[in-house]
Structure formats: structure tokens, C-alpha cells
Amino acid sequence: MKKTPLEEVKERFGSKANLVKELKTLFDKGKLFEDSLNPDKGLTHVSNTKLLKLHKVAGEVRDRFTTRENLIDDLLKTMKREKDGGIKERFEKWGLPRLWDYYKHVTKS
């Protein structure tokens, strides 16, 4: 039987606060996250499902590319558009999960 997101958070991290703390350290160390959160609410008001997905994506990107910039650079190389500044700017505005999904889509074919 599949666990609920709350059960998974409690099992893996102990509490939502611990998961948020771990995400913040991942983002700070790996320069993975462009801070676009509402400063009044922060990550504590994000659903457990989204936090778990964000943790998974951040871990995969950190392990493979170390930083968000490296992911964008590799994506541009894969697309053979390294010199295209416009598309690089567009990718820099995207969220990490969207970038990662697009990278997997481009490298799959």
C-alpha cells in the first residue's frame, strides 16, 4: 500500500520542519535554487508532495551537475545552442523541477 506524503515525510525526515531545513541546506550549498518564494510564507506553506518532489529533484541535480548553472550549460550543449544568450536567459528563469524535466526530455531522444 502506498504511503501518504505526510507518512513519507515523517518516516524519512521526522517532520516537515526537518525536510524544509534539509532543502534549504541543499539550495545554499549547491546554488540550485533561485529564490522566488514569498518571504512571508516560505517553504513551510508548501505541500508535502511538492517538497518531496523538490528534494528528489534537487538531490539528482546536485549529484549530477553540482550547480544550476552547470545544468543549464549542459542543456545548452546538448541542444547545440551554447552561444544563444536568449535561451540561456529563459532557462535561468525556469524553476529547478521544470529545468530538470526538460533536460531529461531533451537527452532522452
User: Residue 29 and residue 2: Cα distance in Å, rounded?
Assistant: 32
pLDDT of residue 109: 54
* Grid coordinates belonging to 71: 545544468
Record the pTM.
0.79
Contact by Cβ (8 Å): 44, 16 = yes
pLDDT of residue 46: 86
pLDDT of residue 99: 93
Q: Which residues form the domain of 66?
A: 5-108
How many structural domains is the chain composed of? 1
Place of cell 546554488: 31
Per-residue pLDDT of the chain (109 residues; tens, 9 = 90+): 889 999 999 999 999 999 989 888 877 765 666 555 555 567 778 899 999 999 999 889 989 998 889 999 999 999 999 888 899 999 998 988 999 999 999 998 5
